[in-house]
A and B are shown apart, each in its own frame.
Chain A
Amino acid sequence: MKKTPLYEKHVSLGARMIEFGGWMMPLQYVGILQEHEAVRQRAGLFDVSHMGEIMIRGRGATEFLQQLITNDISGMREYRVLYSPMCYPDGGTVDDLLVYKFDSERYLLVVNAANIQKDLQWIESQRPHDVEVEDMSEQYAQLALQGPKSQEILQRIVDIPLDSVKFFRFADGVSIAGVSALLSRTGYTGEDGFEIYLPANRALKVWDAIMEVGAQYQIMPAGLGARDTLRLEAALPLYGHELSPDISPLEAGLDRFVKLDKADFIGREALVKQKEDGISRKLVGLEMIDKGIPRQGYEVQVEGRRVGYITSGSFSPTLKKNIALALVDVSYAAEGFHVDVLVRSKALKAEVVKIPFYAKQYKK
Chain B
Amino acid sequence: MKVKVIENLKYSKEHEWVRVEGNRAVIGITDYAQDSLGDIVFVDLPEVGRNVKAGEAVAVVESVKAASDVYSPVSGTVVEVNAVLEASPELINQDPYENWILVLEMSDPGELDALMDAQSYERFCEEEEE
Contact = CB atoms under 8 A, between A and B. Distances in A.
A292 B42 contact: yes
A248 interface: no
A238 interface: no
Contacts of A292: 42, 44
A11 to B, nearest CB: 13
Interface string B18-38: 000000000000000000001
Contacts of B66: 295
Interface in A259-295: 291-293, 295
A287 to B, nearest CB: 15
A344 interface: yes
Interface in B43-67: 44, 60, 62-67
Contacts of B86: 291
B39 interface: yes
B67 A295 contact: yes
A315 B41 CA distance: 7
B126 to A, nearest CB: 17
Contacts of B38: 16, 27-28, 31-32, 225
Interface in A324-362: 344
A159 B99 CA distance: 52
A319 to B, nearest CB: 12
B67 A315 contact: no
Contacts, number: 40
Nearest to B62: A293
Given A291-B86, A344-B60, A225 B65 contact: yes
A157 interface: no
B84 to A, nearest CB: 15
B64 A32 contact: yes
A97 B1 CA distance: 38
B64 A315 contact: yes
A229 interface: yes
A240 interface: no
B60 A315 contact: no
A314 interface: yes
Counting chain A CB atoms within 10 Å of each CB, the highest count among B42, B44, B63, B64 belongs to B64
A314 B44 contact: no
A58 interface: no
Contact of A31 (B39, B60, B62, B67): B39
Interface in A80-132: none
A298 B109 CA distance: 37
A179 interface: no
Interface string B82-100: 0000100000000000000
A162 interface: no
A116 to B, nearest CB: 24
Contacts of B63: 32
Contacts of B62: 293, 315
A324 to B, nearest CB: 13
A82 B42 CA distance: 38
A27 B65 contact: yes
Contacts of A322: 42
A255 to B, nearest CB: 31
A32 B44 contact: no
Given A28-B38, A293-B41, A315-B42, 11 more contacts: A27-B38, A31-B38, A32-B64, A33-B39, A33-B64, A293-B42, A314-B64, A314-B65, A322-B42, A344-B44, A344-B60
Q: Which 10 A-B pairs have the closest CB atoms?
A: A315-B41, A32-B64, A33-B39, A31-B39, A293-B62, A32-B39, A293-B42, A315-B64, A225-B65, A32-B38
Interface of A: 16, 27-28, 31-33, 225, 229, 291-293, 295, 314-315, 317, 322, 344
12 contacts: A32-B65, A225-B64, A293-B41, A293-B42, A293-B62, A293-B67, A295-B66, A314-B64, A315-B41, A317-B64, A322-B42, A344-B67
